[in-house]
Amino acid sequence: MTPMEIALEQARLAATRGEVPVGAVVLGADGAVLARAGNRCEELADPTAHAELLALRAVAAARREPRLPDCDLVVTLEPCPLCAAAISLFRVRRLVFGAYDPKGGGVEHGPRLFDAPGCLHRPEVVGGVREREAAVLLRDFFRPLRPG
């Protein structure tokens, strides 16, 4: 499985738990999967339990290091401003994401955190990887929740 396929699988699992279907994978310098996670905001009653943060925290805790400069993050949705700030603080080498998020994104939309003058670290960013598949997961999840 490719890293994005693993992230999509995590997103599907999140949806089965009633969570917004977002999945994330952290890769080491050699491309090995170090952590994977799906959203758990509802389950943990924690609005910050986003897939990206859960996966990054798991790797940092396992390594006992607050920064992950040799790691890549693969996530199914453009990170929100909270996650974009965390990605910068974790010093992630590369961010790869699937669907763009014009309403809630913080990388290519909204505050565009990595372009801000005060941004401490700007990872390489690759957006739109399997974008359509990731967007369909989100649309299918929200369709029954939104009337009309």
Measured CA to CA, the distance from residue 74 to residue 3 in angstroms comes to 7
Tell me if residue 9 is catalytic.
no
Tokens 């700007």 sit at which residue?
122
Number of CB atoms found within 10 A of residue 75's CB: 30
Measured CA to CA, the distance from residue 12 to residue 9 in angstroms comes to 5
Phi, then psi, of 45 in degrees rounded to 5: 50, 45
At 147, list the tokens: 């009337």
Nearest to 89 by CA among 62, 64, 113: 113
What radius of gyration do the chain's Cα atoms show? 14
Kindly name the residue from 9, 19, 42, 52 that is annotated as catalytic. 52
Catalytic residues: 52
